[in-house]
Structure 1
């Protein structure tokens, strides 16, 4: 149940003027799609397997439940969270690159959640579906400010895809060392982390963020998913030795869920000031002293086989995750989100075309293999 002592701030109502198209945004979108297609074509040619253009490597596939809290104030009780009820979910844990790297090349981690059985007015392109996807990364802000800078960083990523894996390991080790020095003096480098300098820590100890905003009914918000169960809290910043363990992150997730359950809290940060919480600069961390992340739901995942060939075959071959799968009440906002729509569509269509398998949006998870 929501704790009324956690006072909800006064949110700003969404207005169309808070968003604005970038110059040549259509060209940026086309170039972004081309760059992502290039990543997919390269990994297909080298490995013979159609992969996601980014977040290609799966570290866990988990079935669980999302339960909306009771007693939410009106500003929080929006969209998916408007009614206290439970939904089945599928959670996919990943890392950012589009190639299947050794886990000792340590990059930012991702979490994608597919909520099933969601009714309501839909986003264009997802009519007739009953899913709501949330796509999150373990940092509160996006690495770049807007679509154009996103394209520039993606081109750099594309240029290194499936090249010199040994050198990537060496560079990752150096980048982690540099990041460690920066963090010792209270800093942090998003650039170093994205280039392989992410600390070698347990993925289940991470908090995840949408990084870029969504509608929250008539308001604007960012979401986070934060571990709260005791076993998970012990894993926060817990070092993980990934030497000679190419799938060490997955092994750690499988080991944990072999005997433990897990619980996360879903939290919403409402926009209360469009100047300090802009929609069109995704690199800005919205200040929590002005608007804290407030709980709206709990996710529980029981002990289970956290990864299997059979489950991966279904999820990685026939499911896709996109913030554009969902309710109109949670429409993605800002240039990063706008260009992502075409990018996600291309990536999923590429996988379907080259795997010969039909993409599907599940209406139930009952038949998902163990």
Structure 2
């Protein structure tokens, strides 16, 4: 059963919160800190962000609201056409460890590569209005994105299983246990209800081992259900898409909020940042290019661009849905972060630009290290919605507090 969330009298209640979710969020926040401690030895004794620990660059930018924003989109940060704000941009890998930007493998004698999820965080400074969560002593608006229009994990229930799987892994950074039921499904060992198929005399040693893991690892697989298996199937499809999504330079990718946000009273948005130059290449690397890629190639590519170009411009755009669009579709449009909105029904509309001037500093990678990015640094008009955003509030806070208590300064 799901409980209704609190909402103002001027805005419909878009969220559908499971009764168990509050306990799940607290559990995940505590386990996130446990994982940060566990990964410390793998990161030169340093406590880093629970997710997105590897930065490709921290850039000074200007967030410029378009002068021709349609009147019906003049909401919140976009209510003042032509206004210019100072901003910070952080590009990162959406991973849990500092690892090589790309995984190179060999298959049938040919080199192949698995790409990772990429992140972009924008901090719009001094918005001059109260925010839902203060950013130190400042009122800033944060926008957090990844380079696919969907998250790999739909909701808090799925993320709880993932977190338990990470805790159970030897290094605290390997999610294989989360995906184990999907492997068993393909092998005919599990049905679509999430139940094990009875063992047979023809089971291989590998199958016996997988069955033992599933039945004995209660902290990960207790009370497994069809809903949990569907989460694995969904996540597997998104991960496969991520692995095939090439990124040649951080600023050349298109990024998406995936999760939804309030857009004033009675409307909801998802947002995105795209290159202004639509001719930039997202094609796969050739075999020769692949051989030359450094493990930090994204930071290198960004530095080359910023030192050579006078200016980079990016487009900030929004998809907007009304209460009528969402009515009856709350589970799909609000609570499922792994399901993109149909762009033919909800087209992206440009409302602002990001302008990045030439930057020659050599500390671009670490300059954002002290900053805390969270979607809850937000104007009320852009309140975060949905389970993944509700989860971010306690998890990001617990992660930042632990970094701070470990001597890693955060603002």
Shared fold, TM over 0.5: yes
Cα gap change, 1:192/1:161 in structure 2, threshold over 3 Å: closer, same or farther?
farther
Question: Are 2:140 and 1:88 aligned?
Answer: no
Give 1 or 2 for the bigger CA radius of gyration.
2
For residues 69-108 of structure 1, the aligned pairs below 5 Å read: 69-84=66-81, 85-105=83-103, 106-108=115-117
Q: Note the residue ranges of structure 2 that are not aligned, 5 or more in a row.
A: 1-9, 104-114, 177-235
Cα gap change, 1:126/1:329 in structure 2, threshold over 3 Å: closer, same or farther?
farther
Question: Are 2:311 and 1:315 aligned?
Answer: no
- Secondary structure of the residue aligned to 2:396 is helix
Q: Residues 257-294 of structure 1: CA distance to partner in whole angstroms, max 9, x if unpaired?
A: 11023111100100141145621122221111112010
- Secondary structure of the residue aligned to 1:258 is helix
* Structure-2 residue corresponding to 1:292: 347
Distance in structure 2 (CA, Å) of the matches to 1:70 and 1:242: 45
Q: Residues 180-227 of structure 1: CA distance to partner in whole angstroms, max 9, x if unpaired?
A: xxxxxxxx9312255xx2444313321101101111111210000011
CA root-mean-square deviation: 2.5
Cα gap change, 1:31/1:70 in structure 2, threshold over 3 Å: closer, same or farther?
same
* Structure-1 residue corresponding to 2:4: none
Distance in structure 2 (CA, Å) of the matches to 1:114 and 1:228: 20
For residues 356-367 of structure 1, the aligned pairs below 5 Å read: 357=409, 359-360=410-411
* Structure-1 residue corresponding to 2:228: none
Cα gap change, 1:112/1:164 in structure 2, threshold over 3 Å: closer, same or farther?
closer
Q: Note the residue ranges of structure 1 that are not aligned, 5 or more in a row.
A: 1-12, 169-187, 361-370
Distance in structure 2 (CA, Å) of the matches to 1:270 and 1:29: 28
Question: Are 2:287 and 1:265 aligned?
Answer: no
For residues 268-347 of structure 1, the aligned pairs below 5 Å read: 268-272=318-322, 273-274=325-326, 275=328, 278-305=333-360, 308-309=362-363, 312-316=365-369, 318-347=370-399
Distance in structure 2 (CA, Å) of the matches to 1:320 and 1:77: 27
Distance in structure 2 (CA, Å) of the matches to 1:67 and 1:295: 11
Q: Which region of structure 1 is more displaced relative to structure 2, 120-129 or 287-296?
A: 120-129
Cα gap change, 1:288/1:99 in structure 2, threshold over 3 Å: closer, same or farther?
same
Question: Are 2:254 and 1:207 aligned?
Answer: yes
* Structure-2 residue corresponding to 1:364: none
Question: Are 2:78 and 1:58 aligned?
Answer: no
For residues 115-194 of structure 1, the aligned pairs below 5 Å read: 115-125=124-134, 129-159=138-168, 162=171, 189-193=237-241
Distance in structure 2 (CA, Å) of the matches to 1:129 and 1:163: 34
* Structure-2 residue corresponding to 1:68: 65
Distance in structure 1 (CA, Å) of the matches to 2:173 and 2:74: 49
Residue correspondences, number = 318
How far 1:161 moved relative to its partner?
7.5
* Conserved? CA contact 1:210–1:223, under 8 Å: yes
Question: Are 2:395 and 1:349 aligned?
Answer: no
